[in-house]
Every structure is written in C-alpha cells, then in structure tokens.
Structure 1
C-alpha cells in the first residue's frame, strides 16, 4: 500500500479546512516591504534589571515614556556582542555563540489572515546542544496594549530574574509570566512558537506560560536553503481561542520575537526589542492588505 507523507504545512491546511476555513493564497513576498530587525543575545537582563536605575542607565528614560527601541535600535548588535562575550550580564558565556542575528521581517494581511515572514542567515554556533530535536525555534509574542510598558519594552515584561534558567532561580518549573497577568482583563501576551522539527504551538503568557489553547494559528512553516532560514507564520486576525488577541484593520499591536538558535533552550536565545505592528496602518512594521 502506498503511503503519503503529510508535511507540517499540509497538516495545518487539513486542520484549517476541517474547521471550515481554507487557506488563502500567501502574499507575493517579493512585493512586500522588508524591515531589518537585529536580534541580540540578552544574557541575564530581565525586566527587573531593565527598570533598576543603579544597574541600567535607561531606566530613567523608560519611566519618562521612552521605548527600548528609541535608545537602542542602532546599537543592538554592539550590545549583543558585549553581553555574549561575558563582559556584561552573562556569567556563563558560550564560546563561539553569535552576539546578534539580523533578521528581515515582512508582514501582510488579506483581510482574514495575518502573514509574518522572517528570513535570516544561520550564524556561528557553539556550546551544548540543549534541544537536540530542534536546531532552531522561532517564537512571536503579540500584545493588545493592555500590559503596562509593553509598548515600551516589548516582550521583556515576560522576562523575570526568577525564571527557571536564570542564575540562582529556585523553581525549576517557573517560566515566563506577566506581573498581574490575567486572561479575562486582557493582560497577557499571545504566543506562537514554530520548531524546526515541524511542530508549532499556539498559547499565551499571563500569570504563567501556557503552550496551548489558542485557535488563531492557521499555519507555521520553515525551511533552510543553504545558510538561510525562512519561517512564515499565518494567523487568523480574529484569533478566536484562549489567549488569542483579536486584531483589526487600522489598529497597532505590540510585537516581539525570539530565535532559539544552535539548539538552545530557555534564556539562551536571541531576542528583538519591542516593535509596533500596524494592520493597514503605519507602524514600525506594517501589515498592509494585498
């Protein structure tokens, strides 16, 4: 009997069709504007460090309403290089690890779905292979302007010094969370993660991280050609599940994303600063209708 292999993308299509929603044609990415976003290696730089003036000189600017992007957009590569070397905020530097990853980010929508595309070259690696099943993972966080400072600090509001992979953490099960996080009040981050083993999860981060419950994810696929990775995420604008924010034309949302490169886990990732994502409206990254 002949067998048919179903890829993760095809499986996503079957799920969408089973739910009564067919996948629309993806945008012609050659016609979609691209924004270069440099992800940095953050080391041990939780929100508690970010907001403490005696440790972080930008804490005062943050209190005045400035964003991390305002101060650091053009120096993220230098910051990552310094941290990954162990000069600052990294007690356990990984030899050979890249300090930053430049990523081309594209966004578009068709009135029903949001499309996000991330492209980057594989950086140098080094150190222990913490996740042998996944050389690469990419996660995005979306927020609906309800978490305090989210528009300033991006997903840093979910990063805390007591999380399980932080130095001195006492609870090896504690992951990301939002202080005062609550689904009912909308104080949470919508979380989607793609893994290079072909699996994807749709969850959220409120008082704790939950890797399920969302129904907004339509498709997540990625591939490596030569030394270049490309990951594309398709998400229903309306969301519809637990921990899904509802997105609409003319509005902006907070976007942050992270790449776990070189089979890493936990805090040993590269992260973006916080960006505004506009749906049919001008923002740091604009998802225009095609």
Structure 2
C-alpha cells in the first residue's frame, strides 16, 4: 500500500513538473524571429579588427560604429573570402561552408528566457573531424552594460585574441579571454553551449579565461535535427548567480553566437556579428513576455 501511494505521488509530481515546463515554453510560431548570417571568420581576432593597416573598418570602430553597422549585409560575402583562403585564412578547408543563415527567436515568461536557433545543415566538407564526439555545437554569449571593452561594438570579438588556442602559432592551452576580465567586477561574458553528440548543455563564462561550467542560470538546452534542419532551444533563468548576467525587463544586452559545424573545433566555427537582445524593449532580437 505504501509503495503504491509513493509511486502515485511521484507520478503526480513528475506529471505536474512536465506540465508546468510545457506550459511555460513559448509557441515559437507566434514569436518574432531575426535572420542572422553566421559566417566563417578565418584569422580575424580582436587585434586584427583594430589594426587600420589590415582592416579598413578600424577607423569606423574608433568612431563608435559597430561591426554590424558596416557588415551585417555582407557577412556571407566575407565568409566566402575567408573560407576560400582569399583573405586572412592561412589554412583553408576545402568544401568548408562559408556561412550559415540562422533564425534566432527569443521570449520570456517572467522567470525564464527562451532562445531558439534554427538553421539548415550545410553540406559536409569531408575534412578530418576535429571533434569526433560532436558533429555540431552551438554557443551564445551575453554581456551586460558594456563593461567589457568593445562589447557594445564588436560583440564576442572581445574574447578572441591572436594568442588564443588554434590561432596560428598560439599556445593550445590558452583559452578565449577578456582583457582585464573579472567576474567579481562584472567584466565578463555569460556563456552557454549545447553539444549534439553529448546532447548536453553547458553554462560558464569568459573573463580572464574561459570556464565552461559553474553557472547557475541554465535550466535546459535541447536540440534536434529534422531532416537537414536543426533547432536548438536554451532555457535560462532571468535571475543570476556568479558568472551569470542578470536579465531584467526593459533592458537590452550584448549578444552573439557561434556554430561549430562539421565536427569543427576552436576557431574553425561560424560566428555572428554583435547584436542586442532586448527584453520587452528594442533590440535586434526581441524577447517579449509570453
């Protein structure tokens, strides 16, 4: 009798939990989307984009313009130049996709933020697998208040440096980092990643170094492939712990994402330019309450 009562109570609890989660998830068919091109960046670290003799946009950057202001409409063309080795890519991968069109949607329910990424799988290059465990990885980063230098203008590029691993001649142990980064001082990026082979989500940060775990905001990360189409949904709490960015209605946050396609690793990914994620306010991606 006791076993039956316990089993029934557990079943009711699980059913309630599942029902609550399903009720909280947004109807993606009713959520506005933003089409963003993730492109192959080659060897274009922060130091390169700031060097006027190599990057024509360095002058505009110094004047306060954003990378997206200049390049959002030509991201695909930039990816073609770099993936082919025509520009700033000393080790081109034959057949590497130059860019990936991605639809980004966001919504919240007052407690959680939901972000959905959807895209069509590009053709495989046939190159050797860098990450044999994970055919696809997708990550996004958030930054609050522009405390990271150039985060308002260059998105995630503030974490990409010439001495980071997989850059030509760099130390393989050197991760992404923020110059002068400090979680205690709020000078960091909040980092989230989903890995297809492991079917697992990660929540960390990038400050003086990249840390893949330890965050408290991630609730779930779920991905699926339907034919050639991927969709990945991250759910994270609006509230924040150490290394997490606190999200509030009426505010906008610096936002960028990257896709490691074709079993890629390190810098051989596709990246977005820097955008704004607005909660109940203006932004390139708008997260309205559902």
TM-score w.r.t. length of structure 1: 0.91
The separation in 2 between residues aligned to 1:86 and 1:263, in whole angstroms, is 20
CA deviations 1:68-120 (Å, max 9, x no partner) are 00000100000000100000010000000110000011000101100000000
CA deviations 1:155-207 (Å, max 9, x no partner) are 000000001100011x2100100000001110000001100021111000000
Give the match for residue 233 of structure 2. Answer: 232
Give the match for residue 5 of structure 2. Answer: none
Give the match for residue 41 of structure 1. Answer: 40
The separation in 2 between residues aligned to 1:61 and 1:124, in whole angstroms, is 35
The alpha carbon displacement at 1:128 in A equals 1.4
Q: What pairs up with 1:38-187 in 2 under 5 angstroms?
A: 38-126=37-125, 127-145=127-145, 146-169=147-170, 171-187=171-187
The separation in 1 between residues aligned to 2:22 and 2:244, in whole angstroms, is 19
The alpha carbon displacement at 1:23 in A equals 7.0
The alpha carbon displacement at 1:251 in A equals 0.3
Give the match for residue 10 of structure 1. Answer: none
Give the match for residue 193 of structure 1. Answer: 193
The separation in 1 between residues aligned to 2:217 and 2:108, in whole angstroms, is 14
The alpha carbon displacement at 1:149 in A equals 1.1
The separation in 2 between residues aligned to 1:100 and 1:22, in whole angstroms, is 34
- Unaligned 5+ segments in structure 1 are 1-13
CA deviations 1:202-233 (Å, max 9, x no partner) are 00000000111101000100000000000000
- Larger helix fraction of residues: 2
Classify the secondary structure of the residue corresponding to 1:57: coil
Deviation larger for 200-209 or 123-132: 123-132
**Cα pair distance change 1:246/1:178, threshold 3 Å:** same
The separation in 1 between residues aligned to 2:200 and 2:107, in whole angstroms, is 23
CA deviations 1:218-255 (Å, max 9, x no partner) are 01000000000000000101122x21010100000000
The alpha carbon displacement at 1:31 in A equals 0.3
Q: What pairs up with 1:211-250 in 2 under 5 angstroms?
A: 211-240=212-241, 242-250=242-250
**Cα pair distance change 1:249/1:78, threshold 3 Å:** same
Give the match for residue 8 of structure 1. Answer: none
Give the match for residue 279 of structure 2. Answer: 279
Classify the secondary structure of the residue corresponding to 2:215: coil
Give the match for residue 3 of structure 1. Answer: none
The separation in 2 between residues aligned to 1:22 and 1:100, in whole angstroms, is 34
- Unaligned 5+ segments in structure 2 are 1-12
Could you list the runs of 4 or more consecutive aligned residues of structure 1 that deviate by over 3 angstroms after TM superposition? 21-24
Classify the secondary structure of the residue corresponding to 2:37: strand
User: Cα RMSD (Å) of the superposition?
Assistant: 1.5
Give the match for residue 203 of structure 2. Answer: 202
- Paired residue total: 271
The alpha carbon displacement at 1:125 in A equals 2.1
Give the match for residue 26 of structure 1. Answer: 25
Give the match for residue 6 of structure 1. Answer: none
The separation in 1 between residues aligned to 2:218 and 2:93, in whole angstroms, is 34
TM-score w.r.t. length of structure 2: 0.91
The separation in 2 between residues aligned to 1:22 and 1:244, in whole angstroms, is 22
Greater gyration radius: 2
